Amino acid sequence: MDANLGTDTVVTLLAAGLIFLLALGLGVWKYRQMVTSDNHLAHPYVDIAHRSALLYAFATLLVAVFVELSSWPTWVNLTAAAVLVFFFLAAIVSYIVHGALRDTDNQFEHPDRGMHIAMVLLIGGEMGGFSVLLAGFVAGQML
């Protein structure tokens, strides 16, 4: 491990790389569906899974920058980043499941209480986790 990067940053960068690799694999799945379908389109949730994984990979890379520049202790940064990555992956996995099952083209068409709870947790986890890192950045770089 490079002595210039903290463990929290290295772990977050690894997560970004693994999510990007997942995105590339999902691109293969999307391509396969496009080639074999009559309308040459992948299932909407296969497409969403691919695109979201690409975006979340780069979002995780951005998170790694804030982890590195945060003045909080390693455990705080790593926890905040882990919460973000957990919810990024949870979203991607839910899209993969819908794409594999082909059970819907809009998961919010008939939401249940569990879906609303999951969305509130996702919003709180993502915004809260990033707020911690942003505050650490401000404390370490601007104050």
40 φψ region: left (φ > 0), alpha (ψ -120 to 50), beta (else): left
Q: Look up the pTM and report it.
A: 0.94
Torsion sign over Cα 64, 81, 5, 143: positive
Determine the Cα–Cα distance for residues 143 and 140; give it in Å rounded to an integer. Answer: 6
Amino acid, res. 116 = H
Per residue of the chain (143 residues), what is the pLDDT tens digit?
556 999 999 999 999 999 999 999 999 999 999 999 999 999 999 999 999 999 999 999 999 999 999 999 999 999 999 999 999 999 999 999 999 999 999 999 999 999 999 999 999 999 999 999 999 999 999 98
